[in-house]
Amino acid sequence: MSAVDAQPFAKPMQSPSAISPGQRRHTLPASEFRPLNTQDAISVFEIEREAFISVSGDCPLHLDEVRHFLTLCPELSMGWVEEGRLTAFIIGSLWDQDRLTTDALTLHKPRGSTVHVHVLAVHRTFRQQGKGPILMWRYLQYLRCLPNVRRAVLMCEDFLVPFYRKSGFKVLGRCAITVANLSFTEMWYPISGHAYMRRNSEAIRFPQLTSPLELPLELPRTGEQPET
């Protein structure tokens, strides 16, 4: 599986001649979702460290691990960039077993059909704006474009279980992985069918899309969801 196969982030190019004389040119798009790369690693780690150290005392991924996954599987990451600034991100990798084990923290299994979501984090300046749920929704819709992916899994502390439940994840049980004195709940999300969004438990189907970027920016929500 590769980013080239799905082309999830591609946008149609507009030639300079197609821009009318009175049309304003923008150096940077106001808001975009794109895959991350190793040049984003420091920004990613700074956001992650600020978000997790004060709460858990450690980060899901250290800087070398961020670089590791952004080298091996950048197509399984997603960053939300506003006016050139990274505001939120997700990093994932492929896994090939039913449940997570310690190896899942560092390995990428290219033949796996499960996406292990290692981390979702939002920059402190942009929290309490609903960005975490929107980014997760975008990411899950993107995964539907990848033909070999069947589900997403993650592990989280118990206080985050309601947050991920609102995004559609279901509890699998206690995770076999522990980090220092922390234990985790393992959760999963089925990946199948076309992209859709839910509103009051009703599924609204979209016509076939070339890119999740064509989906609406804002998600209808019944209430504010906590940020990670």
pLDDT in tens, 139-162: 999 999 999 999 999 999 999 999
Q: Catalytic residue numbers?
A: 93, 107, 118, 120, 164
Can you spell out the DSSP letters for 47-76? HHHHHHHHHHSS-SS-HHHHHHHHHH-GGG
Q: Specify the DSSP element, H or E, that contains 168.
A: none
Q: Looking at the chain, how many residues does it have? A: 228
| pLDDT value at residue 181 | 85
Rg (CA), the chain: 18
**In contact, 94 and 72? CB cutoff 8 Å:** no
Residues 75/157/160/9 CA torsion (nearest 10 deg): 0
- The pTM of the full predicted model, rounded to 2 decimals, is 0.75
Which regions of the chain are under pLDDT 70? 1-29, 193-228
Crossing angle (nearest 10°) for helices 41-56 and 63-72:
130
Q: What is the pLDDT, as a whole number, of residue 228?
A: 44
* H-assigned helices in 73-130: none
The answer to whether the CB of 120 falls within 8 A of the CB of 89 is yes
